[in-house]
Amino acid sequence: MIRLTGVSKRYPDGTVAVRELDLAVRPGELVALVGPSGCGKSTILRMVNRLVEPTTGTVSIDGQDVTRADAVRLRRSIGYVIQQVGLFPHQTVAANVATVPGLLGWDRARTRARTSELLELVGLDPATYAGRYPHELSGGQRQRVGVARALAADPPVLLMDEPFGAVDPVARDRLQAEFRRIQGELRKTVLFVTHDIEEAVRLADRIAVLSEGGVLEQLADPATVLGAPANDFVADFAGSDRGLRRLAVTPIEVQDLVHPATVLLDDPVPSALAALDGAAEPYAVVLGRDGSLHGWVSQRTLGGAGGGAVADRVRRFDEAVQVGDSLRSGLAVIVQHDAGWLPVLEGERYVGVLTPEAVYAALRRTAPVHDPEPLPQA
């Protein structure tokens, strides 16, 4: 969808902002541009919508050379979100969102419907917020309006330049989660600039790591950038704790789980004690006959060989996680509850237990082997 081929930007004073860059963003993909200040991230973004003209090379969207397109029409067809939002202060939220539809000549009914739809999409109730002005909103709310405005004309391409960098950490975390949800629904083709490797890891399908002068050092999925950096520059930029960051992009899989003894909710206590006798773990997971999770028991909680059923002695779990959740989320629950293990579900069905040792084993198993990736076809 977006392709930069041999793109360079050299200024009259001889400064090279970007040097011979080849980069492709696939349809529906989010590629994050990361790197230190002065590596040309924002310049690359602005060359895509021609706020900056490339010195050499070509930039194309869906196979069309943008340098041959009408610049104004081009920009109206591309969503653009910046750090400072740039809302019009004397216009309402609804009027701000409707800016591009108005320029495109949409009628009032269509514009009003689209505005309401987008405010709901970004988590702002139209009945509450449509008539407000930017100064009546929090920083996070203004950023949400900025995202809604960028999506108003349903552009296939979205350019985002440090969009959440000016808000506090709590609001930023919420905005990232909200945008990840929106992108999951809409699958726009997104070029996203950030200086924060954690943000890139959380949001991006692939990460382009740039060094000074816009030199592309590595283009790969987050797990590969963190687990198999292409060179020392990428390793240093990703940070010495990049192994821990991989927790956020590595999913919990059934093959990584531990499988302690299981007993049924209606089993008699003596049967449960027999199942625990000689078991590898000092506890058993309690299931219903349909495989649903009900809790756990141990020799201590069973209280000896008395009568009754397991249902009378079962202890409930504080939390459980799902297959496909990140190792980070699972480990966070384990640490929060000071537990040695955590049940994992697939839907409503119990499939195993996550332990700190299993987390470590999963990270080792999924450590990527670096293999330079050819330039993909857009």
Query: Residues 324, 328, 333, 337: is their CA dihedral positive or negative?
Result: positive
CB atoms within 10 A of CB 373: 13
The rounded distance, in Å, linking the Cα atoms of 342 and 340 is: 7
Q: How far is CA 69 from the centre of its chain?
A: 32
DSSP string, 244-262: HHGGGG-B--GGG-B--EE
Per-residue confidence (pLDDT) for residue 318, from 0 to 100: 84
125-163: pLDDT as tens digits: 999 999 999 999 988 888 889 899 999 888 889 999 988
Residue labelled with tokens 């579900």: 345
Say whether 238 sits in a helix, a strand or coil. helix
| HSE of 131, CA atoms in CB hemisphere, 13 A | 2
In this prediction, residues 212-226 reach a mean pLDDT of 92
Cα dihedral 154, 155, 158, 161 in deg (nearest 10): -80
Whether 171 shows a pLDDT value over 70: the answer reads: yes
pLDDT tens for residues 341-368?
899 999 999 999 999 999 988 888 776 6
- Count Cα neighbours of 352 within 13 Å in the Cβ-side half-sphere: 13
Please give the model's pTM, rounded to 2 decimal places.
0.78
CA torsion, ordered 177, 179, 183, 186, to nearest 10 deg = 130
Torsion region of 216: left, alpha or beta (phi above 0 gives left; psi -120 to 50 gives alpha)? beta
End-to-end CA distance of the chain: 5
Task: Kindly give the pairing relationship between strand 349-354 and strand 342-346.
Answer: antiparallel
For residue 190, give the nearest of 31, 355, 57 by alpha carbon: 31
- Provide the pLDDT for residue 193: 94
Share of the chain above pLDDT 90, in %: 51
Tens-digit pLDDT profile for residues 33-76: 999 988 999 999 999 999 999 999 999 998 889 988 888 888 88
Collapsed DSSP state (helix, strand, coil) of residue 52? coil
Task: Please write the tens of the pLDDT for every residue from 107-117.
Answer: 999 999 999 99
Q: What is the pLDDT of residue 163?
A: 86
| Distances in whole angstroms, Cα of residue 126 to Cα of each of 114, 123, 244, 277, 334 | 11, 9, 40, 61, 39
| pLDDT at residue number 232 | 93
* Alpha carbons within 13 A on the beta-carbon side of 77: 14
pLDDT confidence of 169, banded at 50, 70, 90? confident
Q: For 237-268, how does the pLDDT look when each residue is reduced to its tens digit (9 = 90+)?
A: 988 778 778 888 888 999 989 999 999 999 99
What pLDDT does 93 receive? 94
Pairing relationship of beta strands 189-193 and 30-34 according to DSSP bridges:
parallel
Q: How far apart are CA 91 and CA 131, in angstroms?
A: 9
Query: Minimal CA–CA distance to 210: which of 17, 11, 10?
Result: 17
Report the chain's mean pLDDT, rounded to a whole number: 88
| Tokens at 371, concatenated | 């293999």
The confidence band for 164, taking pLDDT boundaries of 50, 70 and 90, is: confident
Least confident of 1-5, 53-57, 275-279, 369-373: 369-373
Determine what percent of the chain falls in helix, strand and coil, rounding each to the nearest 5.
40, 25, 35
What whole-number distance in Å separates Cα of residue 60 and Cα of residue 40? 18
* Domains of the chain and CATH, by start: 2-245 (3.40.50.300), 254-363 (3.10.580.10)
pLDDT digits (tens, 9 = 90+) for 267-319: 999 888 988 887 888 889 999 999 899 999 998 888 765 678 899 889 998 89
Helices (H), the chain: 41-48, 71-76, 93-97, 99-103, 108-121, 126-129, 139-151, 169-186, 197-203, 222-227, 232-238, 242-245, 269-276, 299-302, 327-336, 356-365
User: Looking at residue 170, what is its pLDDT?
Assistant: 81
